[in-house]
Amino acid sequence: MAIEIRNVEKTFGAFTALGGVSLDVRSGELLALLGPSGSGKTTLLRIIAGLDHADAGEVSFDGQDTRDRAARDRKVGFVFQHYALFRHMTVFDNVAFGLRVKKKAERPAEMDIRRRVDQLLTMVQLSHLASRYPSQLSGGQRQRVALARALAIEPKVLLLDEPFGALDAKVRKDLRKWLRHLHDDMHITSIFVTHDQEEALELADRVVVMNHGQIIQVGTPAEVYDHPADSFVFDFLGGVNRLNGVIEAGVARLDGKAVRVDGAVGADGPAVIYVRPHQVELGVAPADGVPDGKWSARVSSLHAAGPVARLELDLAGRALEAQLSRDRLSDLALEVGSWCTVDFRHARVFPAKS
Amino acid sequence: MRLALIGLAILFLAAFLALPLVAVFSQALAKGVGAFLKGLADPDALSAIRLTLTIAAIAVPLNLVFGVAASWAIAKFNFRGKSLLLALIDLPFSVSPVISGLVYVLLFGLHGSFGPWLRDHGVQIIFAVPGVVMATVFVTFPFVARELIPLMQEQGVEDEEAAIVLGASGWQTFRLVTLPNIRWGLLYGVLLCNARAMGEFGAVSVVSGHIRGKTNTMPLHVEILYNEYNFVAAFAVASLLALLALVTLAAKAALEWRFADQIAAAKR
């Protein structure tokens, strides 16, 4: 099912949770709403589910306005951050809940309910725990019960609020992979909210980056990572060097030397140059000074475990992180305290915020 | 230090709670079981017992419904006047029961605001059973609500939202999700409410008029008998009242013991 969101606004008292948000969710895609807390991502998810109501704007499912459809009639699957499992019911009864509360005319026979729940529990690999209570399960198991319960009503869209937020790192990674496979099998339109950029980039078909109740950028993980719309997205996706420079006559400069940058340069004035660690090019320092157009830096620390080496460099008093292959590192023969030249393969520049 | 504290607590409880309780039963049985039973079998005493049970049977279910409704509203919704409603729920706790009774006399008594109208229509509230019921409902109102509000606030609304998204109606959500989540708190509230409904003296005393065989409840009957120096009968009724309280406490303790694991699970 496709979802169209048009100019949705929502305020809580004096706080603007959503300031006119528009978004098209394509049928069958797995979409991530990514942003810091207070960016409005959870509010948007709850408005789609019908748990909150927009002050203005509209949300439509396959072209049909949802304004008059209460949450219980929307047929959405919602997985809550803390699972919200019914603690006095067994795993089986939790999953069966959505089927048992249907109106008599639509309710499947008890035998069909059993078969369906068994099927779902097999799918989430929890058949052996059907008669347990939620308090007897681990976090990852609860999460899967919550998912099975949401899927029981055969929803047209699956909404997940910070689905992995309360889990430890290992379980998180496994569950992430598992959810991706599940989505590939079922192709149900899914939207999940997260503040973890790694999770969004790894799991989603498309990522929506939000901040202060606005959508900043929408794109595939590669688009968002390689072409961040602004300095916020760059900062939020993380793993980036920020170097203070200037823009003079349309040229970005760091310590007086020109920096080749992608995209627009912006107005003259103080600026921040963004470079990802793997875009930092290192070279052997020549004996007779630094070649023109390059910078020189000293290695302050070096981590060479795994296939990639990470270097902390001191570039005229600024900390700079660089990543390069182990082979390249041994070619350069760098160690802590040695000097090298620095260049940037790709960099972006944004005016510094005053 | 620990022993001293425990000893002090036990000593205090023995002196101020256990001793009087023992005294009640020993006084009641001072002239033998026959006199004790005779005191209870008196028609006026039987009438008082019947009235007390009737009042509890009306007041407790009423406050069960009001209490759940008020706690639901306060814990799960935000609205104007919420703190006012909270303060009102506490009013019966903070106001002297005598005043609660007097308020009803002022409203519904012969010289009260609605008195003449009620008299013209042949309805008697003050010095009659309806007045006693109303005063009891008023005094026992906070017990259920006060027990449930913190519990429901702590549990939040996620479970209810989950049920609604899964397609449950409001009533299904309440019956299948909310009620099971609060059942232990609700039971405590009801037990406490019941104990107070049976034992209330002050407010009931003001509105009842002490008409023997008609508007006398057990606590009022105990006082009348005592004032007539009929000690054995007075303590016989009093011991029955004390017994009801003990049964309530025992029921609560038994339930807590029997369902300890479920109660712990409900709090998580």
C-beta of residue A150 within 8 angstroms of C-beta of residue A79: yes
Q: Look up the CATH architecture of domain B31-266.
A: Orthogonal Bundle (1.10)
Going by DSSP bridges, is the β-strand pair A257-258/A214-219 parallel, antiparallel, or unpaired?
Answer: unpaired
Alpha helices in chain B (DSSP H): 2-13, 19-28, 32-41, 43-76, 82-94, 97-108, 115-120, 129-155, 158-165, 170-173, 179-199, 202-208, 218-227, 231-258, 260-267
Three-state DSSP class for residue B128:
coil
Q: pLDDT-based confidence at A56, cuts 50/70/90? A: very high
Checking if the pLDDT of A296 tops 90, the result is no
The predicted structure's pLDDT at residue A290: 64
Going by DSSP bridges, is the β-strand pair A269-275/A348-351 parallel, antiparallel, or unpaired?
Answer: antiparallel
Considering only CB atoms, A88 lies closest to which of B167, B169, B266, namely B266
Cβ contacts of B165 on chain A, cutoff 8 Å: 49-51, 71-72, 74, 76-78, 150
Going by DSSP bridges, is the β-strand pair A241-248/A295-303 parallel, antiparallel, or unpaired?
Answer: unpaired
Considering only CB atoms, B162 lies closest to which of A80, A102, A135, namely A80
| Residues A179-190: tens digit of each pLDDT | 898 899 888 999
* CB contact (8 A) between residue B169 and residue A101: yes
Q: Sign of the C-alpha dihedral, residues A321, A322, A325, A329? A: negative
Going by DSSP bridges, is the β-strand pair A157-161/A76-79 parallel, antiparallel, or unpaired?
Answer: parallel
The predicted structure's pLDDT at residue A192: 95
Nearest CA in chain B to A159: B165
Q: Is A57 exposed, middle or buried (0-12, 13-18, 19+ CB in 10 A)?
A: middle
Considering only CB atoms, A98 lies closest to which of B159, B167, B262, namely B167
Checking if the pLDDT of A194 tops 90, the result is yes
| Residues B7-65: tens digit of each pLDDT | 999 998 888 888 888 888 888 887 878 888 887 888 888 888 888 999 999 999 999 99
Q: Which domains does chain A have, with CATH numbers?
A: 3-235 (3.40.50.300), 239-351 (2.40.50.100)
The predicted structure's pLDDT at residue B177: 94
The predicted structure's pLDDT at residue A354: 58
Instruction: Please report, as a single letter, which amino acid is at residue A176.
Output: R
Region A287-291 average pLDDT: 68
* CB contact (8 A) between residue B165 and residue A78: yes
The predicted structure's pLDDT at residue A312: 93
C-beta of residue A216 within 8 angstroms of C-beta of residue A210: yes
Measured CB to CB, residues of chain B less than 8 Å from chain A are 158-159, 161-169, 172, 176-177, 180-181, 262, 265-266, 268
Considering only CB atoms, A78 lies closest to which of B162, B177, B266, namely B162
Q: What stretches in chain B show pLDDT beneath 70?
A: 261-268
What's the pTM value of the predicted model, to 2 decimals? 0.80
Whether A166 and chain B come into contact, CB under 8 Å, resolves to no
| Residues linked to residue A189 through DSSP beta bridges, in sequence order | A157
Nearest CA to A11 out of A52, A65, A66, A71 is that of A52
Cβ contacts of A49 on chain B, cutoff 8 Å: 165
